[in-house]
């Protein structure tokens, strides 16, 4: 079984927290020309109250042709090299990482009101921390409507969540504590917080 059971993450709050912190999804979608998938990267925003992700892409993006199809959203969290020195030589060289996979159904949004609502949500969320905070309403309505014609607005409804958090869970608590301490000392705090 891969990933091994001890690296699988099923806690939905932890999965959603990683998605919130790292919202750039690599999206795998069907490709009729080959056995391989098309892939695009899209920042998405998860709305827990409605259990949907929202996003927009350029009209020519292949994702815009996936209405009513199933796709996979891949989120990669922080990662780093694990040196044996981080554990007083009680581990082999390895790599620490966290990732979330979400299988979801695609719904292309057609309503102009819904498109505007999604754009407002996305910009107000991703503008947090910017001063001054830019607002989509700074763009005249006629310009916004013209811009929206060049975009496809999407809702992704999750049908399955899974996580792969490779954080030395197969090691003893003492070794894991030493690794966490070493990560913190090396200023790799975001991955240390996952321990």
* pLDDT 10s digits, 153-171: 999 999 999 999 999 999 9
**Which token pair is 155?**
């809702």
Asked if the structure places residue 32 within a domain, the reply is yes
Q: What is the pLDDT of residue 60?
A: 93
Asked if the structure places residue 193 within a domain, the reply is no
Query: Quick one: pLDDT band at residue 4, thresholds 50, 70, 90?
Result: confident
Please give the residue range of the domain that contains residue 68: 5-109+152-186
Q: How many domains does the chain fold into?
A: 1
Asked if the structure places residue 114 within a domain, the reply is no
Kindly report each contact of residues 20-23 with a partner whose C-beta sits within 8 Å and lies 24 or more positions away, as own/partner: 20/46, 21/77, 21/190, 22/75, 22/76, 22/77, 22/78, 23/75
Q: List, in sequence order, every residue forming a beta bridge with 43; answer none if it has no partner.
A: 24
Asked if the structure places residue 99 within a domain, the reply is yes
CATH number at residue 166: 2.30.110.10
Asked if the structure places residue 121 within a domain, the reply is no
Asked if the structure places residue 194 within a domain, the reply is no
Is the predicted pLDDT of residue 35 greater than 70, yes or no?
Answer: no
**Chain centre distance of CA 173:** 29
Q: What is the mean pLDDT of the chain?
A: 93
Is the predicted pLDDT of residue 71 greater than 90, yes or no?
Answer: yes
- Please write the tens of the pLDDT for every residue from 74-124: 999 999 999 999 998 888 899 999 999 999 999 999 999 999 999 999 999
**Chain centre distance of CA 85:** 31
Asked if the structure places residue 161 within a domain, the reply is yes
Is the predicted pLDDT of residue 68 greater than 80, yes or no?
Answer: yes
More confident residue, 30 or 63: 63
Q: What is the pLDDT of residue 91?
A: 86
- Cβ atoms of 101 and 19 within 8 Å: the answer is no
Asked if the structure places residue 43 within a domain, the reply is yes
């Amino acid at each position: 079984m891969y990933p091994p059971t001890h690296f699988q993450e099923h806690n939905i709050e932890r999965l959603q927290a990683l998605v919130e912190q790292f919202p750039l999804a690599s999206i795998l979608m069907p490709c009729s020309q080959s056995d391989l998938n098309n892939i695009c990267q899209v920042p998405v925003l998860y709305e827990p109250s409605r259990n949907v992700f929202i996003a927009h892409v350029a009209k020519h993006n292949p994702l815009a042709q996936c209405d009513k199809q199933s796709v996979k959203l891949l989120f990669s969290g922080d990662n780093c090299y694990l040196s044996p020195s981080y554990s007083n030589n009680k581990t082999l060289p390895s790599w620490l990482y966290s990732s979330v996979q979400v299988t979801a159904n695609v719904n292309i949004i057609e309503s102009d009101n819904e498109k505007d609502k999604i754009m407002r949500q996305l910009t107000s969320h991703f503008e947090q921390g910017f001063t001054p905070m830019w607002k989509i309403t700074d763009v005249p309505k006629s310009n916004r409507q013209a811009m929206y014609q060049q975009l496809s607005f999407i809702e992704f409804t999750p049908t399955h969540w899974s996580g792969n958090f490779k954080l030395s869970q197969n090691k003893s608590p003492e070794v894991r504590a030493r690794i966490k301490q070493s990560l913190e000392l090396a200023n790799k705090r975001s991955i240390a917080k996952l321990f």
